[in-house]
Amino acid sequence: MPHAGDQGHRFAPERAGLARLRAALAESPPLWWAMLYFFCLLTGYYVLRPVRDAMGASSDALAVFPRSWVAWADARGWDLRDFTLQLLFTGTFLVMLVLQPLYGALVARFPRRVFLPVVYAVFIACLLAFYLAFDRQVAGRGVAFFIFTAVFNLFAVTVFWSFMADVFDDAHAKRYYGYIGAAGTVGALLGPAITRTLAERVGVANLLLVSIAFLGACVVCIFRLRPWALKREREHGEASGERAIGGSVWAGLQLVWREPLLRALAMLMFFGVGVGTLLYNEQAAIVRHLFAADAAGATKYFANIDLAINLLAITVQLLFTRWLLRTHGVGPALLIPGILVLFGFCLLAASPFPMLVAVVQVVTRGSEFALGKPGRETIYTRVAREWRYKAKAAIDTFVYRTGDVSFVWLHKALSLLGSRIVFLAGAGLACAFTISAWRVLRLQRTLPGAAGTPGDPSR
């Protein structure tokens, strides 16, 4: 039987979690700025994401593709709407292929104080251009905006976590990354809420101005965190990030090819993208059917999915992520998302209902944001700066988009055989994803900071 003290005990973990957060903020001034940075970054991105997803699920070919593309396809009896996501993901991959060496050159030739603000300044300038395109209803705005948003997400978030690995060492990362992730999740909750509230009131174009304001705040946070990155580098005897890294613009891909741990992280990313892409494409097909002529309704649907994902993520981040990383290391954080996605795809293969697709999407993406991402990012605090900025960027951008374009076309072929076949293939990819997580877990034990492992003097 419950007793009078049950209600107080029920909320004790929440109170203890808030007390730990207050203590962490008191002892670590840079944590404030890191949390604000990630909050603003994900708020700005998640204002854009529902707009991007609605473009990807749009049944209006001229909203997505240029008139010349539509006319060319019509002349040959093709309907571009049958290949919307395949073309969008392929375009994203090609753009990423071009941008990867440009980013490598920026990192190699310019110090941190230059290339970090430059990345965000470029994104802000692009958003201003898209504001004009959406305001004037320019045909083909969808394909350009979809590709831009995908590139923005990968590069901006990758740069953020690379910078955090400069600011915090391994011990502090295990203590603070859960809180930083939670701050980002709050932003990821606020972003779609802003979009859901304002999409029909102010129009899509004005939402882009909201995103620009949050990105401007990110630049302020970068400058405020810079002294703390310098302090950490001096204390650990590391090369200063105020000097250019140097080296080849292709060094990131070369490192991934050469280093076993980086290869394992790349395979983890590749298969993780695979399961996500199959699920995303099935969800987009459902939305295209349900909201055939309602772009605002599709935008609100995707915003609701994002809200549910991020509510789950912040709950796990505040109550479990820090405890798991500090007491059990990165093992559970890497393995749990793989096990959950495998279970989810097995359920979908047995019962491929539309509502269950949404539920599995929420659970798998929520666990990835709350556990998988902080677990992987903690590993990068124990490696050299060239690994953090070059190899990590190659994995998070090039490998990610290679997975995207590979599996979006695989989904197109498998969908001809029905949803059950798609989800059975997803279960196979989930097995590969889990095995890759196990391999990363084994290889990361050789890094500095693992039990019994000496420091790396080359850092």
The pLDDT tens digits for 208-229 are 899 999 999 999 999 888 888 8
Note the pLDDT of residue 25. 67
Closest CA to 224 of 113, 377, 120: 113
Structure token digits, residue 324? 């798991």
Under DSSP, the state recorded for 137 is: T
CB 51 within 8 A of CB 296: no
Q: Is residue 265 predicted with pLDDT exceeding 90?
A: yes
If DSSP codes are grouped into helix, strand and coil, which group holds residue 237?
coil
Closest CA to 202 of 134, 144, 303, 150: 134
The pLDDT tens digits for 390-406 are 788 788 878 888 888 88
If DSSP codes are grouped into helix, strand and coil, which group holds residue 136?
coil
User: Which range, 61-70, 80-89, 306-315, 427-436, has the best average confidence (pLDDT)?
Assistant: 427-436
Note the pLDDT of residue 456. 35
Q: Which residue has the higher pLDDT, 317 or 450?
A: 317
CB 337 within 8 A of CB 372: yes
Q: Is residue 130 predicted with pLDDT exceeding 60?
A: yes
Q: Is residue 270 predicted with pLDDT exceeding 90?
A: yes
Note the pLDDT of residue 218. 93
Note the pLDDT of residue 5. 40
Note the pLDDT of residue 112. 65
Q: Is residue 435 predicted with pLDDT exceeding 90?
A: yes
Distance CA 266, CA 257 (A): 9
Give me the helix-helix angle, 12-27 and 29-56, nearest 10°.
120
How would residue 236 be classed by pLDDT, with cut points 50, 70 and 90? low
- Angle 269-284-149 from CA coordinates, rounded to 5°: 60
Note the pLDDT of residue 17. 55
DSSP letter string over 393-457? Answer: HIIIIIIHHHHHHHHHHHHHHHHTT-HHHHHHHHHHHHHHHHHHHHHHHHHGGGSTTSTTPPP-T
Q: Does domain 25-68+78-446 have CATH number 1.20.1250.20?
A: yes
Closest CA to 366 of 340, 346, 387: 340
The pLDDT tens digits for 291-347 are 665 666 676 777 778 778 878 888 887 788 878 888 888 888 889 998 998 998 898
- Average pLDDT, whole number, for the chain? 79
Q: Is residue 177 predicted with pLDDT exceeding 60?
A: yes
Note the pLDDT of residue 239. 56
Q: Which residues contact 264 (CB under 8 A, 6 or more apart)?
A: 436, 439, 440, 443
CB 295 within 8 A of CB 58: yes
